[in-house]
Chains A and B, each alone.
Chain A
Amino acid sequence: MTADQPRATRRAINAPLTNADVPDSVEILNAETPFQGFFRIDRYTLRHRTHAGGWSEAMTRELFERGHAVAVLPYDPVRDEVVLIEQFRPGALAGGMPPWQVEVIAGMIEPDEAPEAVAHRESEEEAGLHVRELIPISHYLATPGGSSETIRLYCGLIDATGAGGVHGLAHENEDIRARAMPFDAAFAQLGQGPADNAPTVIGLTWLALNRARLREPAPGPG
């Protein structure tokens, strides 16, 4: 349904959408930014085409803007090990979940950065890992209604020998413990609390469905 595709592939990320950014099936009647802190909240009044034909009534909706992220599940297909990181997360704390979350590696994409470059850099900064190949898993919306946040999730092939330890940028108050563990032990963490966050669940379940293929030795020369 091409009419629903956004007109522009890129827009200023520091301002609300305008009608030039959206398909003909949506009309923005008003847009403002009622909150600008480290994050931003935009408030739109808009209407859109309905499934039955015609237009919806005008509606007011708020939108949480925090940018876009890259996430990497590091996997060593030879040792059948993943590396997960453990760090303090204020959203989890305030949401009543374990505040030290066990996660895949993640970082925000700065303007004009390539996602793959962010994946390599964050793997180095957060876990001291050299990723030799990135396999795209998904480019998804964290929560499609109230937030524009997208995550580009990759599986990063690594050598997990000697991986682990404390990492993170001290000047950003990052304090990250990386641990290598067998895939089965990581997958068994799901449902226990600390690892129950969307990027980690999607990454580990993707690996459960694909790791047999990744473990097959690549056909070599002779």
Chain B
Amino acid sequence: MPVVFPWADDATPANLQIADSHTAFLGYFRVHRYLLRHRRHAGGWTGWMTREVFERQPTVAVLLYDPRADTVVLLTQFRLGALAAGKPCWQREIVAGEIDGNETPDAVARRETLEEAGAAIYRLIPMHDVVVSPGPSTERARIYCGLVDSRMLGGLHGVAAEQEDIRAEVVAFARAWDMLRTGSIDNAPAIIALQWLALHRTELRADARG
């Protein structure tokens, strides 16, 4: 049964009015502050409201998967957000990076995979394209599955000039899934990617066997 959400694509002036917007903070990150109102579901308008938005570059994330060996590549690196959240600050993650300027998401996926894991992707499959936190943040993550040959992968990687210090490890999918279930993988891009793989890996393995 199709479910129709008639408003979802509709940010026209008839539905949304922005009276003011300005940059409230500009450092490495940026906060934008809006004064806006929008149409209500039941008709009429909301009151004018002030909303801050955390402006971030869109990102690309890549789960590296070897369908012949049924292994994934996980990265471990220091993460300030995890530290401040009271979670283990060496996070187990998938490859990720910001999209700068005119780069295509595919190019970012391949570049970051080389920088962070020393790997070459032979097939890139889009999994999801998500807003990571749709209330306060503009951050959008394009999440891919990158097929690789995982033999010879692992070790220390990262761009020294960016202070990256990344350990890559090849682990069986079943072990990565255990890490997800027990909470030792606990960040959204890695969870979304491993869940997608759980639903699709049988067909990827069949393709690889030809």
Contact = CB atoms under 8 A, between A and B. Distances in A.
B131 A91 contact: yes
A220 interface: no
Interface string B62-100: 000000000000001011111111111111010000000
Contacts of A186: 3
Given A90-B34, A140-B188, A145-B79, A64 B54 contact: yes
A198 B51 CA distance: 21
B14 interface: no
Interface string A74-97: 000000000000101111111111
A117 interface: no
B contact residues, range: 35 or more
A59 interface: yes
A201 interface: yes
Contacts of A173: 46-47, 49
Interface stretch (B36-44, B113-121, B145-153): B36-44
Contacts of A59: 163
Given A6-B86, A51-B165, A64-B29, A198 B80 contact: no
A91 B186 CA distance: 23
Contacts of B133: 66, 91, 142-143, 147, 149, 197-198
A143 B143 CA distance: 13
Given A95-B139, A196-B129, A198-B132, A57 B156 contact: no
B201 to A, nearest CB: 12
Interface in A87-111: 88-103, 106
Contacts of B111: none
A177 B135 CA distance: 16
B84 to A, nearest CB: 4
B130 to A, nearest CB: 5
Nearest to A208: B199
Contact of B46 (A103, A175, A201): A175
Interface string A1-31: 1001110111100000100001101100000
Interface stretch (A120-128, A187-195, A211-219): A187-195
A98 B10 CA distance: 7
A143 B87 CA distance: 12
B31 A1 contact: no
A210 to B, nearest CB: 11
Contacts of A17: 83-84
Nearest to A66: B136
Contacts of A9: 86
B175 interface: no
B31 to A, nearest CB: 6
B24 interface: yes
A133 B103 CA distance: 46
Contacts of B58: 95
B191 interface: yes
23 contacts: A6-B89, A23-B89, A35-B25, A35-B27, A39-B52, A41-B27, A41-B31, A48-B89, A66-B133, A91-B133, A91-B138, A92-B138, A94-B32, A95-B137, A96-B138, A98-B11, A143-B81, A145-B81, A147-B133, A148-B85, A186-B3, A191-B129, A201-B130
The 6 closest A-B pairs by CB, nearest first: A95-B138, A194-B8, A35-B25, A148-B84, A205-B195, A89-B134
